[in-house]
């Protein structure tokens, strides 16, 4: 049996009782370590589980999945995924490969950022499609997120924006020379995301909201850090304000929610507690959000 076990969002104690039981008795245990990360190291997990954990990087999962699945017709293999097992496409792919090898599969759900983001106080019913933001470079600024945010905002919905992480990446130079030397991990911050969003709006839109754009410097948003963890932190404000929020938010992982206009009074009451500047928040809320449908 192949078990896909969700680990939740924060530390070693976020695994479920059912999940931990499987980890303890599986023949091999892999940890998927490139679409998301826990806030604790592999060593802490190993100590907690009382056993070895094999790190499965992108290369292994995408090109050596048969190693992971080896003999799983006869033995139990646990594949651990931060958050919920179905958060990333890769895992669907792994299950399809298991199916084609007649290996039965079971998944153990856990918290995902897609639902845990409800801790901002924003109603999950008011969210549209989720988008991702990648690190821009000088020459590569993919803006497909922009059209999807537009679709959400056209119908008044919030957008959860998941932020890029770069783990075990090679520099172009090392890659071209075939050197397996990896850069330090990088995690996009809410500040970087807001800067990139405003940059794209500047290129694609016509000067922001109300002028043909999708959003603007005064659009309201909530920055989230370490959701579900003991040091969880939220900051709400305008996109412009959140460009400067990294220090308040602290370490990774970060996510961002851009508000839609279709809001509920309870959302307002809840989210304004996190405002960088309550006066600004209230003024813009009243002007652009309150009572909109």
Residue ranges binding its own copies (CB under 8 A):
6, 8-9, 11-18, 20-21, 83-87, 89, 92-93, 95-96, 99, 107-112, 114-116, 118-119, 121, 123-132, 151, 155, 157, 227-228, 264, 266-267, 269-270, 273
DSSP 254: E
**177: CB partners within 8 A, 6+ apart:** none
Min dist. Cβ of residue 261 to its own copies (A): 14
Supply 196's token pair. 């990139």
249 annotated as a binding-site residue: no
Q: How far is the CB of 169 from its own copies (least distance, A)?
A: 22
CB closer to its own copies out of 34 and 270 = 270
Provide, rounded to whole angstroms, the least separation between the CB of residue 121 and its own copies. 6
Q: In terms of CB distance, is 46 or 217 closer to its own copies?
A: 46
- Output the six-digit token pair for 214: 């999708």
Q: Give DSSP secondary structure letters for 153-194.
A: HHTT-BEEEEE-EE-SPPPHHHHHTT----PPPEE--HHHHH
Reading phi first (left if > 0) and then psi (alpha if -120 to 50, else beta), residue 82 is in: beta
First vs last C-alpha separation in the chain: 48
Taken as a whole, the chain contains a residue count of: 293
Q: Is 176 annotated as a binding residue?
A: no
Q: With respect to its own copies, which residue has the nearer C-beta, 30 or 127?
A: 127
* Cβ atoms 43, 177 nearer than 8 A: no
Q: Distance (Å, rounded) from C-alpha 10 to C-alpha 82?
A: 8
Q: Can you tell me which residue has the tokens 């989720």?
A: 130
Q: Is 9 annotated as a binding residue?
A: yes
CB of 49 within 8 A of CB of 23?
Answer: yes
User: Is the separation of the CB atoms in 33 and 88 below 8 Å?
Assistant: no
Ligand-binding site membership of 22 (annotated): no
Q: In whole angstroms, what is the distance from residue 160 CA to residue 222 CA?
A: 10
- Give the nearer residue to its own copies in terms of CB position, either 149 or 243: 149
- Is residue 103 annotated as involved in ligand binding? no
Report in angstroms how near the CB of residue 230 gets to its own copies at its nearest. 8
Q: Is 87 flagged in the annotation as binding? A: yes
CB closer to its own copies, 28 vs 153: 153
Q: What's the token pair of residue 71?
A: 């003999």
Give min distance, CB of 166 to its own copies, in A.
20
Instruction: Find the shortest distance in angstroms from Cβ 288 to its own copies.
Output: 20
Lookup result for tokens 């990139």: 196
CB closer to its own copies out of 34 and 49: 49
Least distance from C-beta 58 to its own copies, angstroms? Answer: 17
84 is in an annotated binding site: yes
* Alpha carbons 161 and 138: distance in angstroms, whole number: 22
CB closer to its own copies, 86 vs 136: 86
Residue 163 marked as a ligand binder: yes
Question: Any idea what DSSP says for residue 158?
Answer: B
Return binding residues: 9, 84, 87, 112-113, 163, 227, 254
Binding residues for S-adenosyl-L-methionine: 9, 84, 87, 112-113, 163, 227, 254
């Amino acid at each position: 049996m192949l078990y896909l076990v969700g680990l939740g969002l924060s530390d070693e104690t976020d695994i479920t009782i059912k999940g931990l039981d499987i980890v303890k008795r599986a023949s091999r245990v892999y940890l998927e370590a490139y679409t998301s990360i826990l806030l604790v190291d592999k060593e802490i997990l190993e100590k907690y589980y009382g056993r070895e954990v094999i790190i499965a990087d992108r290369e292994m999962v995408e090109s050596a999945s048969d190693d992971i699945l080896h003999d799983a017709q006869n033995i139990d293999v646990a594949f651990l995924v931060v958050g919920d097992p179905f958060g990333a496409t890769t895992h669907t792919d792994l299950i399809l490969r298991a199916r084609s090898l007649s290996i039965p599969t079971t998944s153990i759900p856990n918290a995902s950022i897609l639902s845990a983001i409800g801790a901002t106080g924003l109603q999950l019913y008011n969210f549209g499609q989720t988008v991702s933001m990648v690190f821009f470079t000088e020459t590569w600024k993919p803006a497909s997120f922009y059209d999807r945010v537009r679709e959400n905002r056209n119908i008044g919905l919030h957008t959860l924006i998941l932020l890029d992480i770069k783990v075990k990446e090679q520099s172009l130079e090392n890659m071209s020379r075939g050197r397996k030397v990896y850069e330090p991990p990088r995690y996009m911050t809410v500040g970087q995301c807001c800067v990139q969003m405003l940059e794209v709006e500047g290129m694609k839109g016509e000067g922001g909201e109300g002028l043909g754009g999708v959003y603007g410097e005064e659009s309201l948003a909530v920055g989230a850090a370490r959701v579900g963890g003991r040091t969880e932190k939220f900051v709400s404000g305008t996109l412009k304000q959140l460009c400067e929020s990294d220090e308040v938010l602290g370490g990774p992982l970060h996510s961002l929610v851009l508000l839609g206009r279709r809001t509920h009074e309870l959302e307002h009451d809840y989210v304004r507690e996190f405002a960088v500047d309550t006066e600004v928040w209230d003024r813009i809320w009243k002007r652009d959000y309150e009572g909109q449908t």
